[in-house]
Structure 1
C-alpha cells in the first residue's frame, strides 16, 4: 500500500481523519474522566462501534448501518 502524500500545506489528505478525531474527542473523550489506558481503550472501541453503526448522520438522517442496508437490498 502506498501512502498518499500531498504537497506541504495541502490539508486535503488528512481532512477525513482530522474530522473523525475531532468528533471522537468532543463526543467521547472529553465527556468522561478516564482513569487509565485500559478504560480509554474500551471507551474508544465502543465509540468507534457506535460511530460506524448507530450514530445518526446529519446529512442523510440515517445511521451508517441503515445506509449500508439500502445498497444491499
Structure 2
C-alpha cells in the first residue's frame, strides 16, 4: 500500500491507473492485445 501526502498525488496515481486499465493492459478476450493495439489493428 502507498500513503499519499496530498490529494494531487492520489489523483495522479488514480488517473494513471485508469489510463493503463482502459488503454494498455493486455486482455485475453482481445487475443492478447491491449485495447489500443486492438483498435489500431481493426481500423
Deviation beyond 4 Å, 4+ runs, structure 1: none
Answer 1 or 2: higher relative contact order, Cα 8 Å, separation at least 6. 2
- Give the gaps of 5 or more residues in structure 2: none
Q: Which has the larger radius of gyration?
A: 1
Equivalences, count? 42
Partner of residue 55 from structure 1, selected from 11, 16, 25: 25
Query: Given the two structures, how large is their TM-score scaled by the length of structure 1?
Result: 0.48
Normalising to structure 2: TM-score of the pair? 0.69
- Whichever structure has more helix as a proportion of its residues is 2
Gaps of 5+ in 1: 1-30
